């Protein structure tokens, strides 16, 4: 049951018929893992914390740099050279002290992710990274552990968003869209925010969309990005969607 304080804090959300008290209780018992606390992870984490997600695990091995501040809205100038995961946990605790926060000051690798997801139940993973190899790792581990995942990326003015519910055997996966052979190329590694640039508000929009899709999935609403690649062009404010069929020859889910 929701406390009087919770009813007050989340009152505008509870008013929505798609959520109500039952949906708020689902959010309050949810455990969500956010991998990457940069331009996407910052707005996604802020909105999930504000929405009352019961437990957030925050994963990032980087420290705050001055060049991050143009787009990574969790951090301030005085946070420079501090661990992103720890600062993020402090900032989110200040925003909503009722939720549980766990900071993991490290990069996510396959062994560690597998151990984390297999040792405790997670409702959802958000991939907020800008690293293709890690994205494929998250895809494999979430598929193996049957944990839903919401993935996103932004380059320049262009954003992508897609969700997979691996609880359904027929779900495609990220490797159906981008074959993992691309992991072997050093080109995607070079194409990140530090080399091609990015406009901050586009990250805010896509990161907020990740949080929105996460909330919808947890409360049982239809998820618009489920097995659909949502493409956003910030320069023209245009969205388009591509349905992703499962690839029968996919090395991960085929």
Q: Which residues are known catalytic residues? A: 193
Q: Residue 233 burial (CB < 10 Å; 0-12/13-18/19+)?
A: middle
Residue-wise DSSP of 65-123: -GGGGGT-TT--GGGTTSBHHHHHHHHHHHH-TTSEEEEE-S---HHHHHHHHHHS--S
Task: Report whether 120 contacts 31 (CB < 8 A).
Answer: yes
159: CB partners within 8 A, 6+ apart: 152, 153, 202, 203, 205, 206, 231, 232, 233, 234
């Amino acid at each position: 049951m929701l406390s009087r304080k919770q009813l007050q804090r989340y009152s505008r959300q509870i008013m929505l018929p798609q959520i109500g008290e039952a949906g708020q209780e689902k959010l309050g018992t949810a455990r969500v893992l956010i991998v990457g606390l940069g331009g996407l992870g910052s707005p996604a984490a802020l909105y999930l914390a504000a929405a009352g997600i019961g437990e957030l695990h925050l994963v990032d091995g980087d420290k705050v740099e001055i060049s991050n501040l143009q787009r990574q809205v969790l951090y301030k100038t005085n946070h420079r050279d501090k661990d992103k995961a720890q600062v993020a946990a402090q900032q989110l605790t200040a925003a909503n002290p009722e939720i549980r926060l766990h900071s993991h000051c490290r990069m996510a690798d396959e062994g560690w992710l597998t151990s984390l997801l297999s040792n405790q139940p997670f409702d959802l993973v958000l991939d907020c990274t800008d690293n293709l190899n890690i994205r494929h790792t998250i895809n494999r581990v979430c598929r193996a552990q049957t944990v839903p995942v919401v993935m996103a990326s932004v380059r320049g003015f262009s954003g992508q968003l897609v969700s997979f519910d691996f609880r359904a055997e027929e779900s495609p996966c990220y490797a159906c869209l981008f074959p993992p052979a691309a992991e072997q190329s050093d080109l995607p590694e070079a194409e990140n925010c530090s080399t091609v640039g990015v406009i901050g508000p586009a990250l805010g929009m896509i990161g907020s969309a990740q949080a929105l899709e996460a909330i919808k999935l947890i409360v049982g609403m239809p998820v618009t990005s489920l097995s659909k690649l949502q493409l956003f062009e910030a320069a023209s404010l245009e969205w388009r969607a591509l349905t992703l069929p499962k690839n029968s020859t996919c090395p991960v889910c085929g």
